[in-house]
Amino acid sequence: MKRPVIGITAGLILREAGRDSSQYVSVGCGRSYVTEVVRAGGLAVLLPPVAEREAARTAVETMNGLLLSGGGDLASLEFGAEPHPRVRLVDPARDRMEIEAIRLAWRRGLPILGICRGIQVLNVALGGDLIQDIPAQVKGAIRHWSSDLAPCLSHSVKVEKQSLLASLLGAGKVAVNSSHHQAVGGRLAKGLRVTARAADGVIEAIEADDGRPVLGVQFHPEDIAGEHPRFRAIFDWLIAQARRYQRKQKR
């Protein structure tokens, strides 16, 4: 069987202009997303931030799985709120492309994995909202933004028993890495359930409540899977589900 095609959402990458050069803008995602998808047996294809409904539809129709990568903040108007002063790096075209792709993938039963920004846009696309700045809006917040010299396990989350995430990482307390200042908010989208929280109550994982292959995590398993192989189970799950979807489409 051919490798299943995993669409990975990509964002804009800006590089400052030097004295004798113009500003350089490219589209991409972290290399580790691609590395883990390929290691697990998938074919990674990047989805650029193009705000066209037909482009999103065509892309989803060619995929066997969707991986929502990390990145900047979502535009708050997408979930009916005014922007917090600390909102940054908003890319409206990426927001619209990802929201459309998620809704299409959800309706088609496509496997979805959301990471960091990905868990957030997953909730927003399906009708939920976000905490726009954890330090300012969560009482007693722990540190969710790592300034360490290398990716490392920086705080723990409590994974709910009898959840998809528990089947991959184990239930109870699990140490994870962290690099975010926003999070899934108090309005959880219909069709989703919370399956992990940090010690301060911040939501760290969500999944579909009807058993369909949809998982969102607030941490970055792709960045620590090399040092901590247990996190590879998340990508192995995505590829296994993509293969199942692939076989189903051939019937």
Instruction: State the catalytic residues.
Output: 116, 220, 222
3-state per-residue secondary structure call for the chain: CCCCEEEEECEEEEECCCCCCCCEEEEECCHHHHHHHHHCCCEEEEECCCCCHHHHHHHHHHCCEEEECCCCCCCHHHHCCCCCCCCCCCCHHHHHHHHHHHHHHHHHCCCEEEECHHHHHHHHHCCCCEECCHHHHCCCCCCCECCCCCCCCCEEEEECCCCHHHHHHCCEEEEECCECCCEECCCCCCCEEEEEEECCCCEEEEEECCCCCEEEECCCHHHHCCCCHHHHHHHHHHHHHHHHHHHHHHC
